[in-house]
């Protein structure tokens, strides 16, 4: 059986486009930044290529979408599910386009479960600034600070992030497992942030967050998870996949 069988439910991970802090590497959790003009272009390009009838993410096959409450994620959702990507996003879910309307309000949940990691005292800092500050306070010995292991002072621990992601994974499986062998479409989409989506991948694969699994996830990009051999006990990820033909091709 092909692992590329598009009838097997998939989880699409959509990272928001560029923000001012994305450009300089500052930790952006609860700070509510909007997309830059280039960030809008990034997501609009992804939408044109990958979202729409007969495309990789077909709104007709989407059972549910979970969106982070942050403006940058809400804008990204709006751009992805708008039929004309030239529309300037307002940040309001489903405010500007037929694809968003086609999903139906009942299919879209805005939730803190997929919000970015709460960086607490590290909000707005660079990695080197965080490590230098912790060293001055005598918090780290031979091992440098690692968010996957150590979490954030005044913010979330790895366990707290694990708990909320596992809760979301349980909801996704409730939708997808009954459809694992076909039947009604059961794709889902998560529209969120770079670190929390990489954390989600680890939990989907049943790895602890401190597992050393190097990943990169560009702003405006799409990742894809599914089930190997249509087996709910074999969650996996695509390292590449063929894209469907569209009428325009």
> What are the residue ranges in the chain where pLDDT is below 50?
1-4, 84-92, 94-98, 100
Q: Which pLDDT value is given to residue 244?
A: 82
Q: Which pLDDT value is given to residue 97?
A: 44
Q: Which pLDDT value is given to residue 232?
A: 94
Task: Indicate the annotated binding residues for substrate.
Answer: 28-29, 72
CA–CA separation, 102 vs 96, rounded Å?
A: 12
Domain ranges for the chain, please list them. 11-237
Element (H, E) at 188: strand 187-192
Q: Which pLDDT value is given to residue 82?
A: 79
Regarding the domain delimited by 11-237, which CATH topology (the fold level of the hierarchy) does it fall under?
Rossmann fold (3.40.50)
Q: Which pLDDT value is given to residue 20?
A: 95
Q: Which pLDDT value is given to residue 83?
A: 53
Angle between helices 158-176 and 194-204 (to 10 degrees): 60
* Residue of 183, 168, 174 lying closest to 232 (CA atoms): 174
pLDDT tens, residue by residue, 98-108: 454 568 888 99
Q: How far is CA 87 from CA 71, 76, 148, in A?
A: 16, 12, 37
Task: Indicate the annotated binding residues.
Answer: 28-29, 72
Q: Which pLDDT value is given to residue 183?
A: 78
Q: Which pLDDT value is given to residue 181?
A: 86
The bridge status of strand 222-227 relative to strand 11-15 is antiparallel
Residue 22: is it exposed, middle or buried by C-beta count within 10 angstroms (0-12/13-18/19+)? buried
Active site amino acids: 16, 116
Q: Which pLDDT value is given to residue 84?
A: 44
Triad 93, 111, 32: Cα angle to 5°:
70
């Amino acid at each position: 059986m092909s692992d590329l069988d598009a009838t097997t439910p998939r989880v699409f991970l959509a990272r928001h486009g560029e923000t001012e802090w994305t450009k300089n590497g500052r930790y952006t959790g609860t700070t509510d930044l909007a997309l830059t003009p280039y960030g809008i272009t990034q997501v609009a390009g992804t939408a044109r290529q990958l979202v729409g009838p007969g495309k990789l993410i077909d709104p007709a096959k989407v059972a549910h979408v979970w969106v982070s409450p942050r403006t940058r994620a809400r804008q990204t959702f709006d751009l992805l599910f708008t039929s004309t990507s030239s529309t300037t996003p307002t940040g309001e879910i489903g405010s500007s386009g037929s694809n968003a309307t086609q999903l139906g309000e009942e299919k879209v949940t805005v939730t803190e479960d997929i919000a970015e990691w709460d960086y607490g005292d590290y909000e707005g800092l660079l990695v080197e600034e965080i490590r230098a500050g912790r060293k001055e306070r005598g918090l780290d010995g031979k091992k440098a600070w690692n968010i996957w292991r150590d979490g954030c002072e005044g913010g979330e621990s790895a366990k707290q992030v694990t708990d909320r992601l596992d809760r979301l994974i349980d909801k996704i499986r409730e939708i997808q497992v009954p459809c694992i062998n076909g039947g009604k479409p059961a794709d889902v989409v998560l529209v969120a942030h770079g670190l929390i989506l990489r954390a989600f991948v680890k939990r989907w694969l049943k790895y602890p967050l401190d597992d050393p699994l190097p990943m990169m996830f560009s702003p405006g990009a799409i990742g894809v998870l599914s089930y190997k051999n249509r087996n709910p006990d074999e969650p996996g990820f695509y390292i590449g996949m063929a894209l469907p033909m569209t009428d325009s091709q």
